[in-house]
Amino acid sequence: MDGGVDGMRIGELARRTGVSERSLRYYEQQGLLVARRTAGGHREYPEMAVDRVVHIQELFAAGLHSRTIYKILPCMRDSDGGPSETATPLLVEELTSERDRIDRMITDLLRSREVLDEVIAGATGRPSAA
Amino acid sequence: MDGGVDGMRIGELARRTGVSERSLRYYEQQGLLVARRTAGGHREYPEMAVDRVVHIQELFAAGLHSRTIYKILPCMRDSDGGPSETATPLLVEELTSERDRIDRMITDLLRSREVLDEVIAGATGRPSAA
DNA sequence: CTTGAACCTGACATCGATGTTAGCTTCTAC
DNA sequence: GTAGAAGCTAACATCGATGTCAGGTTCAAG
């Protein structure tokens, strides 16, 4: 069964990545994920697809748009085993701005977590206040 | 301690917080922000409102929903000068889960920033591969 | 009083990933 | 060959904060 021609279908990929089939099809539509097709038209994914989907999810989680992800995927290592293209200066500029945005987001999150911790501590550590 | 009955109107509050008037009205509608009204119906905010709006923005930035923010605002210090109510156990549970979500988000962001940095470094530091 | 800026309410639009449903086709196991 | 599971496409719905527009009112200054 593992002889060689890997034929993972969308259901299995969804199960193994925790991403819905709907989203996987959407990724394909956005050009983020490619799938071979069986004679009947069913998608067939290679093992690699699992890692690739995980990567995609990470970037989505960081708030990147599919269009941006589309552009950086070819520049990432071991996503598709390809030659890892070099980012154009324009893309680098965009990514730098995204990186800065992420930095600000992290700062905000740390601050907010602090606020939540204060409220939580105020309730658990101080049963009824002063 | 100052002579004046403070009468900051929505335009000034928007300018000073960087939040649109539209959003300020929305905050009020969601119960996050209270405003006195002039005889003619115009909103009038106290100085404190500035800090409060900033707080609200931080929580929104952390991905909290207005309903959640609504519930924790009374438990925060120096937001409204009130007695800083104690969070109910139920709320604490919810906030804890939000805190965990934020933790995961921070982890994801750090990872994604790393990925972006790699791509950027790959382009700027290494003109062509290996 | 008049004029223009600022404000009011209410409604509708947007964005983007994802959920959901419908109707049909393919695959797999018996 | 047949039944049921799994896939396919296409279309519409959702969520939530925010943008935007329209039509009317208030405020401040001349």
pLDDT bucket at A81, cuts 50 / 70 / 90: low
Average pLDDT over residues A6-29: 95
Nearest to B122 among A61, A87, A122 (CB): A87
Contacts of B124 in chain A (CB under 8 A): 92
* B56/B101 same-domain check: no
pLDDT at B24 over 90: yes
Contacts of B72 in chain A (CB under 8 A): 116, 119
pLDDT at residue B77 greater than cutoff 90: no
- Spatial CA neighbour of B24 closest among B8, B36, B5, B11: B11
Is residue A60 located within the same domain as residue A16? yes
Protein-to-nucleotide distance from the CA of B40 to the C1' of C1, whole angstroms: 20
Q: What tokens were used for A44?
A: 């067939």
Query: What are residue A36's phi and psi, to 5 degrees?
Result: -75, 165
Rounded to two decimals, the pTM is 0.84
The predicted model gives B87-100 an average pLDDT of 90
Q: Are residues B80 and B91 in the same domain?
A: no
Please indicate, yes or no, whether residues B114 and B126 belong to a single structural domain of this protein. yes
The CATH number of whichever domain residue A46 belongs to comes to 1.10.1660.10
Structural domain span for residue A111? 87-130
Residue A41 approaches strand D within 7 Å at CB: yes
pLDDT digits (tens, 9 = 90+) for A23-32: 999 999 999 9
Considering only residues 24-83 of chain B, list those whose CB is below 7 Å from strand C. Answer: 25, 35, 41-43
From B22's Cα to the closest Cα of chain A, the distance in A is 22
d(CA A6, CA A106): 39
Residue B130 and residue B91 share a domain: yes
Residue nearest to nucleotide D7 (CA to C1'): A42
Instruction: Tell whether A104 and A62 lie within a shared domain.
Output: no
Q: Which residues contact A116 (CB under 8 A, 6 or more apart)?
A: B72, B95, B98, B99, B102
Same domain, B64 and B39: yes
**B42 contacts B74 by C-beta, under 8 angstroms:** no
A122 and B58: CB-CB below 8 Å?
no
Q: Quick check: A41 and A7 in contact, CB under 8 A?
A: no
Q: Are residues A51 and A38 in the same domain?
A: yes
Cα separation, A25 vs A10, whole angstroms: 9
Better-predicted residue by pLDDT, A4 or A18: A18
CA distances from residue A104 to A109, A130, B85 in whole angstroms, order as listed: 9, 36, 30
Counted domains in chain A? 2
Query: Do B22 and B34 sit in the same domain of this protein?
Result: yes
Three-state SS string over A11-68 comes to: HHHHHHHCCCHHHHHHHHHCCCCCCEECCCCCEEECCHHHHHHHHHHHHHHCCCCHHH
- Asked if residue B102 and residue B58 are part of one domain, the reply reads no
Do both A126 and A77 map to the same domain? Answer: no
**Rounded average pLDDT over B8-17:** 97
Estimate to the nearest angstrom the gap between the alpha carbon of A114 and the chain centroid: 26
Compute the Cα dihedral for B55, B56, B61, B66 and give only its sign.
positive
Which residue has tokens 């109910």? B88
Instruction: Name the 3-class secondary structure at A87.
Output: coil
* 3 state SS of B63: coil
pLDDT, tens digit (0-9, with 9 covering 90-100), for B27-45: 999 999 999 999 999 999 9
CB B50 within 8 A of CB B39: no
Sort out which chain B residues have CB atoms less than 8 A from A116's CB and list them: 72, 95, 98-99, 102
CA-nearest of A47, A5, A74 to B119 is A74
pLDDT at A122: 82
Residues B77 and B117 in one domain: no
